[in-house]
Amino acid sequence: MITSYPVAALLLGVGMWLVLPRGRRGGRAIGAMLVVMALGILAARLPIVTPWKYETILLLLGGITVISGIGTVSMRSPVYCALWFAMALLGTGALFMFVGAQFLGIATVVVYAGAIVVTFLFVLMLAQPQGQDYYDRLSWEPLLSALTGAVMVLLLSLALESGLGGTAAVELTAKSPTPAALEKGVLAPEHVATIGGVLFSRYLIAVEVAGVLLLVALVGASAIIAHQQGGKTSVAHGAQQEDRR
């Protein structure tokens, strides 16, 4: 029934508002139960467009990704948030690999899970070497964030229902590419090699410019951190000399 989507969105919004770090721990268990119930309702309403074996793997990978995303925004520790974010990226990369987008799956794992998350952890260690700040353990405007997320989930669910519900799921299954067509397309052994050839031939200048920009940003961040640490060291040294006098 269409009315199950508003109920699931409402449960998800209330549950996310309860699990978000709001300065007090009360209600997080109830919020987690509401989120699980909402995800169960949404999963039960998903149409089956592939054989049950592939559908099970798809739902499993999607559930891991969604739960990891919820853990990313609901943890109080920034380090745990980064680890859950890495798990969400691994789930996203697995979904890309599952549908045959090998390059996107590898790029997601290498660039985001392997580089962005590690950089984020380094920033946390450099910026907060003596502990966590209070403002990093709270969610600003949790009610507005939960409400916005619930509305987005409701709209997406209704769009999927209208696009895949009823005879649309049967038509989509009938139009799905055959295994032979997939082996010649996205599942071909030279799939990633073809994309790499296009990137480093037709878009070579754009790739090199992006690499130079990332290198400049890395050097600039290192210089800023070194300058700040040098200033703190000089101030501490001056304070010690004043104390000795």
Confidence tier at 65 by pLDDT (50, 70, 90): very high
Residue ranges per structural domain of the chain? 4-202
pLDDT tens column, 197-222: 888 888 899 989 988 998 888 788 77
Confidence tier at 23 by pLDDT (50, 70, 90): low
pLDDT tens column, 84-130: 988 999 999 988 888 777 788 888 888 887 778 877 777 777 666 55
Measured distance between the N- and C-terminal CA atoms of the chain, rounded to whole angstroms: 80
Handedness of CA 14, 16, 18, 23 (dihedral sign): negative
DSSP state, residue 111: I
Cα separation, 128 vs 105, whole angstroms: 32
What is the DSSP secondary-structure string of 138-204?
A: S-SSHHHHHHHHHHHHHHHHHHHHHHHTTHHHHHHHHHSPPHHHHHHTTTSTTHHHHHHHHHTTTTH
What is the reported pLDDT for 157?
81
What is the reported pLDDT for 167?
58
| CATH 3.10.310.50 is the classification of domain 4-202 | no
Cα separation, 168 vs 173, whole angstroms: 9
- Please give the C-alpha separations between residue 202 and each of 70, 103, 186, 194, 198, in angstroms, as whole numbers: 39, 17, 20, 12, 5
Q: Count the helices and strands in the chain (H runs, E runs).
A: 11, 0
Cα separation, 102 vs 188, whole angstroms: 10
Note whether 150 and 9 are within 8 A (CB).
yes
pLDDT tens column, 130-149: 545 565 566 677 788 888 88
Task: Using alpha carbons, select from 88, 84, 82, 75 the residue that is nearest to residue 123.
Answer: 82
What is the reported pLDDT for 209?
92
Structure tokens at 88: 């969400």
Helices 52-74 and 4-19, packing angle to 10 deg: 40
